[in-house]
Structure 1
Amino acid sequence: MTYRIDPVVLHQVTKGAVGRPLYNGELITRTIESLAEHYPGLIDPTPGRWVASKAGGVLGKVRFLYFSPREYLVIFGSPTGTQGFSGRYKHIDIHKFLLAGRIDSYDVESDATTPLPPLLPGGHTCLERGHARGLTIHPGSWHLEYGRGAVATTLPFAMVDTLLVSLEIESVRRSAVEFGKLARRRFRRDESDAPKWVR
């Protein structure tokens, strides 16, 4: 099965962005520009819109960069920190590449009573299919999140907390608008021009 985004490239982009200032937006801006350089026509280098996201109790801001039926790429973070449940996905692997801050996590079902190694700037971790974690995202933490698999299976977890628990309809509406923009961009693009990698 072929995919358009390579986790190795995402890790390189992350490591190249670490250390850039966060307060003036340079860290996020340069990360997106670098992704657009690696994936011309796939990632739009122009600033997108931040959207509120709450899933599994984890509240933060998300910027959508790319999605298709088998892949998605976003930037997610929280200026003040947050914690909660990772979710359990049976049909998708979710990679996190930390740009700034720190993420602590633990396996919710293992016999271990100690946390997993912390995710630090420049680091990479993967929540494999069928697994679940508890996590703490420290203040000022921002990461690239890349999902590979059946993307539609993540939507109930991603939307139910925001819509039914928080009753935050506006965030769902804004997310739908951003998804729509990416979908139109994807369908306008000549797919034969985008690079592909084999898993």
Structure 2
Amino acid sequence: MPSKKSSSSASTRQNQSKCGCFSFRKLGFLAVILALLSSVVVYLEARLESFYIFTPDHLHDLSQRAVAAHGNDTRAVVKYIVGELNEKETSAHLNLDEEWVFNNAGGAMGAMYIIHASITEYLIIFGTAIGTEGHTGRHTADDYFHILQGTQLAYVPGEYEPEVYPQGSVHHLPRGQVKQYKMDGSCFALEYARGWIPPMLFFGYADTFSSTLDFPTLWATTRITGREMIGNLLKGKL
């Protein structure tokens, strides 16, 4: 008759074998999920252009016309821009309520009004009346900063002079690149990002947890961004 010790050892080996098989199945399942997600990302990446409803050239032209019409009356400039966009096919995807919230990211502080937010694009008015400076972030989207008022300065390592972007110009930060930037005094811009937007949110949230602890602003940003992204998804806009 087998001893209790032998039975216990056999049971332990069986349990270990079962755990090993279970862990292997889990790893296999995760590998399949990862492969499927990777395939989807690659597929969508090759077709990103088909998901965009805005173009940098049109937004640049629109910003210049708005500035030409209203000069340093930035409130009127913003109204001009949103008004024209609302007359086009993009109207169903716009947030027409000026819900301004603070934005702290990369050490810089300003405020933003989210005009559009979806998985592949966002369009906001960003700026400050007193100036700010910080890190642009290294993003998964191209960023176009159309200067509506004031001047933005930018710097990259190895240069000895700043890049200068005055009113009416556009600062293009290609996906994956990074700079130091400064909005010297009062400066507002129409900021357009195209690419993968959700990963950019981590940069926008980081300062809340590391410095400001401004959770009401974090909630407002999350509520508005989530509402617009989900609303656009329901309308078929990725």
Question: Structure 1 vs Structure 2: percent identity of aligned residues?
Answer: 25
Q: Quick one: distance in 2 between partners of 1:31 and 1:173?
A: 27
Is 1:186 the counterpart of 2:236? The answer is no
Which runs of 5 or more structure 2 residues have no equivalent in the other structure? 1-46
> Relative to structure 1, is the Cα distance of residues 159 and 8 closer, same or farther in structure 2, using a 3 angstrom cutoff?
same
Q: Give the letter aligned to residue 100 of structure 1.
A: Q
Structure with the higher fraction of residues in helix conformation: 2
Q: If you compute each CA radius of gyration, which structure gives the higher value, 1 or 2?
A: 2
3-state SS of paired residue (1:88)? coil
3-state SS of paired residue (1:10)? helix
What count of residue pairs does the alignment treat as equivalent? Answer: 187
- Report the Cα offset of residue 181 of structure 1: 2.9
8 Å Cα contact 2:118-2:230 kept in structure 1: no
8 Å Cα contact 2:102-2:112 kept in structure 1: yes
8 Å Cα contact 1:102-1:137 kept in structure 2: yes
Q: Give the letter aligned to residue 76 of structure 1.
A: F
Counterpart in 2 of 1:125? 171
Q: Give the letter aligned to residue 165 of structure 2.
A: L
8 Å Cα contact 2:118-2:233 kept in structure 1: no
Structure with the higher fraction of residues in strand conformation: 1
Q: TM-score, normalised by structure 2?
A: 0.72
- Report the Cα offset of residue 21 of structure 1: 5.7
Is 1:68 the counterpart of 2:118? The answer is yes
Counterpart in 2 of 1:12? 61
Which runs of 5 or more structure 1 residues have no equivalent in the other structure? 192-199
In the TM superposition, what whole-angstrom CA distance separates every residue of 1:56-84 from its partner, at most 9, and x where no partner exists?
Answer: 11100001111111111111000111011
> Which structure ranks higher in relative contact order (CA pairs < 8 Å, sequence separation ≥ 6)?
1
Is 1:43 the counterpart of 2:125? The answer is no
Q: TM-score, normalised by structure 1?
A: 0.86
Is 1:101 the counterpart of 2:150? The answer is yes
Matches within 5 A, 1:42-191: 42-44=93-95, 46-89=96-139, 91-107=140-156, 109=157, 111-116=158-163, 118-189=164-235
> Relative to structure 1, is the Cα distance of residues 63 and 98 closer, same or farther in structure 2, using a 3 angstrom cutoff?
same
**C-alpha RMSD of matched pairs (Å):** 2.0
